[in-house]
């Protein structure tokens, strides 16, 4: 998927790469949707567990940011999103995963603030959404060679992260 896109994934090509006959691929995955769902779950269950572990650190916003700007993860996410445009089962998996991840991020940020007796002037779920969106967009645009305003946005986010880590406060606007 990462090399040539989701449309290039076939049981024949997968079997060849794995040194198996295509029929064996179909034995374990009766349809390509079954295969894609299994792949998605495998990749993203690991990602969810890593998020749970990392978000309980002293730098939960930095963890959200690092996940958002991960080029390989973003590329794979984009392939799955493109696939979801054509397959409802994948769409449901992505939506479920995304909602779970956002709740994990939100709960970790709320716990982080409560533990320090702080109140954010921006809702933690909005902070998470903004960081994820900016990071994903920069990663996406970087993959096609776009760089306009990236350095400035990265500096702004880095400044916000440093301020949050120093004072526990986030000021946007």
Q: Is residue 18 part of a domain?
A: no
Q: Is residue 1 part of a domain?
A: no
Q: Is residue 17 part of a domain?
A: no
> How much is the pTM?
0.81
Q: Is residue 21 part of a domain?
A: no
How many structural domains does the chain have? 1
Sequence-distant (≥ 6) Cβ neighbours of residue 37 within 8 angstroms:
89, 90, 93
How does pLDDT run along the chain (173 residues), one tens digit per residue? 888 888 999 999 999 998 999 899 999 999 999 999 999 999 888 888 888 887 788 888 888 898 888 888 888 888 999 999 999 999 999 999 999 999 998 888 888 888 888 877 888 899 889 998 999 899 889 888 999 999 999 999 999 888 888 877 766 65
Task: Name the region of 40 (left: φ>0; alpha: ψ -120 to 50; beta: rest).
Answer: alpha
Q: Which domain holds residue 74?
A: 47-167
Q: Is residue 149 part of a domain?
A: yes
Helix (H) or strand (E) holding 123: none
Separation of alpha carbons 173 and 163, rounded Å: 14
Q: Is residue 33 part of a domain?
A: no
Q: Is residue 123 part of a domain?
A: yes
Helix (H) or strand (E) holding 135: helix 124-143
CA distances to 16, 32, 95, 138, 161 from 153, in Å: 43, 39, 27, 9, 12
Q: Are 135 and 65 in contact (CB under 8 A)?
A: yes
């Amino acid at each position: 998927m990462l090399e040539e896109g989701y449309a290039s994934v076939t049981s024949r090509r997968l079997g060849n790469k794995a040194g198996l006959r295509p029929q064996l691929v179909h034995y374990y995955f009766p349809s390509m949707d079954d295969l894609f769902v299994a792949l998605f779950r495998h990749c993203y269950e690991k990602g969810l567990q890593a998020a749970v572990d990392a978000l309980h650190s002293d730098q939960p916003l930095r963890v959200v940011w690092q996940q958002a700007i991960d080029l390989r993860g973003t590329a794979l996410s984009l392939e799955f999103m493109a696939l979801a445009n054509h397959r409802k089962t994948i769409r449901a998996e992505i939506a479920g995963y995304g909602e779970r991840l956002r709740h994990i991020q939100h709960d970790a940020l709320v716990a982080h603030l409560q533990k320090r007796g702080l109140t954010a002037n921006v809702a933690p779920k909005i902070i998470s959404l903004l960081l994820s969106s900016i990071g994903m967009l920069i990663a996406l645009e970087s993959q096609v060679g776009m760089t306009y305003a990236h350095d400035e946005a990265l500096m702004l986010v880095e400044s916000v992260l440093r301020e949050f880590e120093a004072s526990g406060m986030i000021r946007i606007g």
